[in-house]
């Protein structure tokens, strides 16, 4: 089956489910959940986007990737001196943003004041299973404290249960809590999802008004893959952002993700990426 047709089928299903179309009640769950996966696996199809990433022409050396990196520190045992180092590295290498847990937003924002480097805060992290009200509250709070970008985890269990309306409303609750200039990224946690679930999640995030879809938290199964980035890019189109995070530890992998359609990289091995060496971080 042609890739365009696969995406078209799943997109139509998403829209029907969200609108509560009763005709879908007659579709067996195992069929709905395997349309894309079966076709891709049995034919060994590589997902092709037809998308030429404009970022590629700007990348002539590892250092050129820096302005597309969210320099990340999300470890639960990270200490103040670790965040001091994160900020100094962001300044030295001119990363796009630093990405931290919500309690650290005021600290890094103060240290970055006067620079162009943004603060990204994760919300509902890392499970995504919090209430929508809790996610919205956390979002408002971190924006007040200096975050200009939000990386929220969608409700993975609700998605896998087929409660797509709930998933959409969960994202919309966070979107309503943001400001007009706040960038909202939705973390799919792709390691837990089938290919068709990834497509459905991308379509819901797009419908809910998100600016980006993102692969992983770095705390679940797997991480970013070229296959997933290409599939996500093909689903959301050319204008929406796609963030590769989880396991991007060197320049070659970062470029492969960008070639597949990523417009942002989330990494704790950011310094390794932009200096052309291999990082050892697990994120």
Burial class (CB within 10 angstroms; exposed 0-12, middle 13-18, buried 19+) of 70:
buried
Q: Are 157 and 221 in contact (CB under 8 A)?
A: no
Q: Are 195 and 37 in contact (CB under 8 A)?
A: yes
Residue 214 is among the residues annotated as catalytic for this protein: yes
How far does the chain reach from its first CA to its final CA, in angstroms?
A: 35
Q: Please, what sign has the CA dihedral across residues 215, 217, 218, 222?
A: negative
Q: Pick the catalytic residue: 70, 151, 195, 196?
A: 151
Q: Pick the catalytic residue: 135, 196, 214, 228?
A: 214
Q: Are 261 and 229 in contact (CB under 8 A)?
A: yes
| Among candidate residues 182, 213, 208, 188, the one with its CA nearest the CA of residue 105 | 182
Residue 151 is among the residues annotated as catalytic for this protein: yes
CA 122 to chain centre: 11
Which are the catalytic amino acids?
Answer: 151, 214, 243
């Amino acid at each position: 089956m042609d890739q365009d047709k696969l995406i078209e089928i799943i997109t139509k299903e998403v829209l029907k489910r969200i609108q509560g179309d009763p005709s879908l009640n007659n579709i067996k769950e195992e069929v709905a959940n395997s349309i894309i996966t079966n076709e891709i696996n049995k034919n060994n199809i590589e997902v092709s986007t037809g998308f030429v990433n404009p970022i590629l022409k700007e990348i002539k050396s590892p250092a050129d990737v820096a302005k597309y990196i969210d320099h990340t520190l999300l470890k639960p045992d990270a200490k103040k001196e670790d965040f001091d180092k994160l900020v100094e590295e962001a300044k030295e290498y001119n990363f796009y943003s630093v990405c931290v847990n919500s309690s650290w937003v005021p600290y890094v924002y103060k240290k970055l004041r006067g620079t162009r480097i943004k603060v990204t805060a994760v919300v509902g992290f890392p499970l995504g299973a919090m209430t929508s009200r809790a996610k919205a509250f956390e979002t408002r709070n971190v924006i007040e404290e200096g975050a200009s970008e939000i990386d929220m985890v969608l409700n993975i269990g609700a998605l896998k249960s087929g409660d797509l309306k709930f998933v959409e409303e969960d994202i919309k609750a966070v979107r309503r809590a943001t400001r007009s200039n706040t960038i909202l990224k939705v973390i799919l946690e792709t390691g837990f999802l089938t290919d068709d679930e990834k497509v459905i999640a991308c379509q819901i995030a797009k419908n809910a008004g998100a600016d980006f879809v993102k692969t992983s938290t770095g705390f679940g199964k797997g991480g970013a893959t070229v296959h997933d980035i290409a599939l996500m890019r093909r689903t959301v189109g050319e204008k929406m952002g796609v963030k590769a995070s989880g396991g991007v530890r060197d320049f070659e992998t970062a470029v492969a993700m960008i070639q597949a359609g990523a417009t942002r990289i989330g990494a704790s091995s950011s310094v390794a990426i932009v200096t052309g060496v291999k990082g050892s971080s697990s994120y």
